[in-house]
Amino acid sequence: MHAVRDRCVWSQQITHRDLVPYLIEESHEVIDAVESGTRDDLREELGDLLWQVLFHAAIAAQDPDDPFDIDDVARTLTEKMVRRHPHVFAGEVAETPEQVLVHWNAAKAAEKRTRRSVLDGVPRGMPALALAQKIAGRAAGVGVTVAAAPATAPASEAELGDALLALVAAARAEGWDAERALRERLRLLEDDVRTAEAGS
């Protein structure tokens, strides 16, 4: 990474903002490799995603006002994971995944004391279904519920938005991932399209 940043004229000009589209694309390629790829695909795509982390850290290391490097990133991550796993690194006990989440959420809440809303920290750049699921969960945590999906087809785009949000909230209540469910259903549709193309 240092050699590329130092000697590649394209890489020298790249900023954090310039890398965002690549970070999104590489993240989705990892997801594809997890959901339908081979072990070789996953190994390659994880490497590409790691490259993005290394690239951002190399850019950050050259910041004149507040530099940090990959070692600082790793150190910060290690400190956070130790704090969030007191059942591993301290004397707390967690015998079920639910108990682990209690420790995780308590540590996270302590870290984020400056937040004023349950919505603080929710990244608005998430895909819409994933964002809806996250916000529906945060809303439920403060007693705000989403109306049930209508039995009839939506008559407007606004009604469609209401219906989609209601479906996402229902999925969250069941412990389902709406984004993954739609992606997996779309894979079946893609198979149907390819079958139809092969038959024509």
Q: What is the pLDDT of residues 12-33, one digit of tens each?
A: 999 999 999 899 999 999 999 9
CA 186 to chain centre: 19
* 102-130 pLDDT tens trace: 888 888 888 877 777 888 888 887 888 88
Extract the tokens encoding 184. 């997996």
Extract the tokens encoding 127. 């895909």
Separation in Å, CA 87 to CA 6, 98, 110 = 43, 12, 16
Extract the tokens encoding 178. 């709406």
pTM: 0.71
Residue 156 has pLDDT above 90, yes or no: yes
From CA 52, how far away is CA 10, in angstroms rounded? 15
Residue reference for tokens 């997890």: 34
* 43-64 pLDDT tens trace: 999 999 999 999 999 999 999 9
Mean pLDDT, rounded, of the chain: 90
